[in-house]
Structure formats: C-alpha cells, structure tokens
Amino acid sequence: MKPTQPIPDEKNKRAFQILEKALSKYKGEEHLLIGITGAGGAGKTTFANNIVSYFGSEQALTIDLDDYLISREKRGKLEITGYNPQANNLSLAREHVEALLIGKNISKPRYDHSTGKILNDKQITAKPLIIVEGVTTLYDELKELHHTSFFLDAQEETQIKSRIQRDVNKRGYTLEEALSLFEAVKPDYERFIAPTKQYAAIVFSVTPDYVMHPIHINEELQ
C-alpha cells in the first residue's frame, strides 16, 4: 500500500516513517488494521484522520470506538466512566472489525458526545486500510486483531489543552465541566488504559504542541 498524498503533518514526519515501515511487513495482505489508543485528548483522532489523508480515502477508513459507548444515561446509572470496559459494546466492535478485515461492509452505531445518546447506525464500506482509534483499542477483546498499533502517551498538559479545545469548543461542555471530567476519569485511565501500553507495537510521547516522539518501538520495526 502506497501513500497518495504528502505527509499531512510534517512535524510528525518520523511517526509516518515508522508507520510505513510497520505496514511494509504485511505486503500482499488484502486488509490491514492499525490500532491507535491513549488517554482522552492524546491526539488519537487527529493521527487517525491524518493517516487516512496520507493514504487517501479510497484506500483507508477510520473507526472511532467512542461510537460503541453505551449512553451517558446508562453509564450514570452504572456509575462508571467511558474508560470502563462495561461502558463499551466491545463484542460488537470486535464483530465489526473482523467483518471489515474480510472485506465485508458494516452498519455501525454512532455516539453523540454533546447529548450522550446513541444515534442511528451509519453504513461503512470496507477498505484495504482500517484505522481503529479510541481508549478501548487494546482492551482484551480487540488487542490481537491489529497488524500494528500505537499508544499515544500524552503529557497531562497535552490532555488538558486538547480537552479544552475539543470538549468546550466542539462538544458543548463548559470549561469547568471539561476540567472536572478530566479529573474524574484519571483513576480509570490508570486502571484500564495505561496498562494497555504494554501491548502497543509503538509508543509515542505526545507534547503540548502535539509532536509525537517515539519512546518504544518493537525490535522488528527498528
């Protein structure tokens, strides 16, 4: 698989070089799966979208695992955060990823972060390169499906900056609500997400200016 566009994020050129080397191991594979995970606000969606831009939308698609969240109302009743596996329909996510990997189209749910409600399904057409991104990417139900995977280990300052930009400007939260949510999910980040770093093929440290510095690369990719 070859890129169709220049690197869309020059400050992270090294990340794309690492990505290409990782994918080069799988020449001849009809469908490839890239996993991206890390804390909320680490830059997962931006990296995924940039990969799609790099390889072209005819070849690549991205799946946001946030769409497999149960509703905010149900999470509230269970008193759990979105980082908890129980807050996510991971069995359906796995079923959909496995379908895409054999070239089957899917009808996937959509989650509205502004309202916390589940929207009507969206039809997704299978493509050669599938990018799955979200906090649950390397949870047990999904971790062995990826051909290569990235953990974005964002500094706390990076996470806060991103949450303000995203939650306040795009999702309708007040600044106080965004900061409160950040503090509320910290324990579950340490419990559920941070441990999945060990399963990632590549780990990047993400600075407040969103530069991804490699801090771990599997031996076969070096």
Q: What radius of gyration, in Å, describes the C-alpha atoms of the chain?
A: 17
Strand 106-112 relative to strand 117-124, pairing: antiparallel
Lowest-pLDDT range, 48-52, 87-91, 179-183, 198-202? 179-183
Tell me the pLDDT tens digit for each residue of 23-50.
999 988 999 999 999 987 788 999 999 9
Tell me the pLDDT tens digit for each residue of 136-188.
999 999 999 999 999 999 877 777 777 777 777 777 778 777 777 778 878 99
Which percentage of the chain shows pLDDT scores above 90?
75
pTM of the model: 0.90
Give the per-residue pLDDT at 215. 94
The per-residue pLDDT of the chain, averaged, comes to: 92
Instruction: Identify the three-state secondary structure at position 110.
Output: strand
Lowest-pLDDT range, 15-29, 70-84, 122-136, 181-195? 181-195
Q: Which two tokens stand for residue 166?
A: 């995203």
Inform me whether the pLDDT recorded for 61 exceeds 80.
yes
Give the per-residue pLDDT at 17. 94
Residue 27 C-alpha from the chain's centroid: 24
Torsion angles phi and psi, residue 93, rounded to 5? -60, -45
Torsion angles phi and psi, residue 31, rounded to 5? -135, 135
The mean pLDDT of 208-216, rounded to a whole number, is 91
Residue 150 C-alpha from the chain's centroid: 9
Give the per-residue pLDDT at 42. 85
Give the per-residue pLDDT at 171. 75
pLDDT bin (cut points 50, 70, 90) of residue 222 is low
Structural contact between residues 16 and 124, judged by C-beta atoms closer than 8 angstroms: no
What is the DSSP-derived secondary structure letter of residue 191?
I
198: buried, middle or exposed (CB in 10 Å: 19+, 13-18, 0-12)?
Answer: exposed
Torsion of CA 169, 175, 181, 183, to 10 degrees: 130
CA distance 28 to 178: 45
Which percentage of the chain shows pLDDT scores above 70?
99
* Level-2 CATH architecture, domain 31-208: 3-Layer(aba) Sandwich (3.40)
CA distance 33 to 20: 13
CA distance 136 to 85: 7
Closest to 119 in 3D by CA, of 76, 69, 172, 84: 69
Inform me whether the pLDDT recorded for 193 exceeds 90.
yes
CA distance 84 to 193: 9
Closest to 181 in 3D by CA, of 197, 196, 166: 166
